[in-house]
Structure 1
Amino acid sequence: MTKNINLYIARREHDIYQKDIANKLGIHPQTYHEKERGKKDFTLTEARMLAQIFECTLNDLFQEEKTNLKVVD
């Protein structure tokens, strides 16, 4: 599991605290913290709720960015 950096960024851009998101999801703030850090997984229901809260897609929140690095000899 990896840190959900896109979720972290979305939450910070919307100026929302972890405890506020946890309350909306109906989970303990510490549990949310562990999920955002990638130590636990979000349920599909929680992920969909997050996408609604941040008005984006699941891919926007949870898809890892692919880098376009080229190796040059």
Structure 2
Amino acid sequence: MNNKKKNLKCKSCGCSEFVTKPNQYEVYEVIDDNLKYTHSETVDEETRLFCRDCSKELKNADELISA
């Protein structure tokens, strides 16, 4: 078994950090003339992954390189 860890990177820019499209939002409301956090809502959408540096959406593993 190969236990060697691969370092996956974005093919476009070489970045190894990725972010998701937000699927949760915080809801605030004005209460007694103050903006107050009331709750969070989760959006029922498929998680989407983006390169942190160039913002390219990664649609599948072929968009990554192993370094």
TM-score by length of 2: 0.20
Q: Which has the larger radius of gyration?
A: 2
TM-score by length of 1: 0.20
Higher strand share: 2
